[in-house]
Amino acid sequence: EAGVVQSPRYKIIEKKQPVAFWCNPISGHNTLYWYLQNLGQGPELLIRYENEEAVDDSQLPKDRFSAERLKGVDSTLKIQPAELGDSAVYLCASSLRLAGANEQFFGPGTRLTVL
Amino acid sequence: AQTVTQSQPEMSVQEAETVTLSCTYDTSESDYYLFWYKQPPSRQMILVIRQEAYKQQNATENRFSVNFQKAAKSFSLKISDSQLGDAAMYFCAYRSGNQGAQKLVFGQGTRLTINP
């Protein structure tokens, strides 16, 4: 079974340019997460989806960040315009919402460099 | 809000020896889960071990075990018989038992080096 797929793995852009990241979760997982991981830090949640509904986006900087999960499967995270401080790794994770620990499975992430 | 603290930015151990990574957390909840994740240079987070707060017995997964001290809010990871492949960043994480709060709260990480 395929794991969480993310693309691209690396992205280098000039500041003020737009950028988009794509995530395909594990088949059947109804919960999808986007995390931001700054260099030398642990990941922090940006947004969580239950199916196609964003149920926790309190940490998403909505002035420049947006996300969608239109059919409740794959998801796109967009930044427009990018700033130097957005350089980081963007991780996607998915889980099957059940009672209990609900293990989150992570993708390999996209490393964004803003010049 | 819950917080997770890892006070050891870096640790090193000789191959085949045992190492313990520390983690403390702060919460007012009684129902929660704790995790240790491993992140190698490939960046993919891999679950190492998890502990349910309601369980008194410490979790064990092969060479990995935890020391869960609920009253002290401490959750350390012990790696026995360290192997070169154990070298990675290790993150301690907390998740509320509230089904409406699914996010993981991570510590700052500990970089583990294995010396051959």
- Residues A52-68 pLDDT 10s: 999 899 899 999 999 99
Query: Is residue B33 within 8 angstroms of chain A, CB to CB?
Result: yes
Backbone region of residue A86 per phi and psi (left: phi > 0; alpha: psi in -120 to 50; beta: other values): alpha
Q: Are A48 and B103 inside 8 Å of each other by CB? A: yes
Is A102 a residue whose pLDDT tops 90?
no
Chain B residues lying within 8 Å of A45, measured CB to CB: 103-104
pLDDT of A1 reads 65
Q: Tell me the pLDDT of chain B averaged across its residues.
A: 94
Chain B residues lying within 8 Å of A7, measured CB to CB: none
pLDDT of A98 reads 67
Q: Are B45 and A40 inside 8 Å of each other by CB? A: no
Q: Are B91 and A97 inside 8 Å of each other by CB? A: no
Chain A residues lying within 8 Å of B4, measured CB to CB: 42
Chain B residues lying within 8 Å of A99, measured CB to CB: 99
pLDDT of B1 reads 82
Taking residues A58-82, report their average pLDDT.
Answer: 94
Burial B71-104 (b: 16+ CB within 10 A, else e): eebebbbbbeebeeebbbbbbbbbbbbeeeebbb
pLDDT-based confidence at residue A101 (cuts at 50, 70, 90): low
Q: Are A43 and B52 inside 8 Å of each other by CB? A: no
Q: What is the pLDDT of residues B10-38, one digit of tens each?
A: 999 999 999 999 999 999 998 999 999 99
Taking residues B112-116, report their average pLDDT.
Answer: 96
Q: Are B106 and A33 inside 8 Å of each other by CB? A: no
Q: Smallest Cα–Cα separation from A5: which of A30, A28, A29, A22?
A: A22
Q: Are B106 and A108 inside 8 Å of each other by CB? A: no
Is A100 a residue whose pLDDT tops 70?
no
pLDDT of A68 reads 95
pLDDT-based confidence at residue A90 (cuts at 50, 70, 90): very high
pLDDT-based confidence at residue B97 (cuts at 50, 70, 90): confident
Q: Are B44 and A107 inside 8 Å of each other by CB? A: yes
Angle at A95 between CA B79 and CA B42, to 5 degrees: 50
Is B4 a residue whose pLDDT tops 70?
yes
pLDDT of A20 reads 98
CB pairs under 8 A between A and B: 59
Is A5 a residue whose pLDDT tops 80?
yes
- DSSP bridge pairs for A64: none
pLDDT of B99 reads 72
Classify residue B26 by its DSSP letter. E
Q: Which residue has the tokens 């959750």?
A: B75
The partner residue sitting opposite B108, judged by closest CB among A41, A55, A111, is: A41
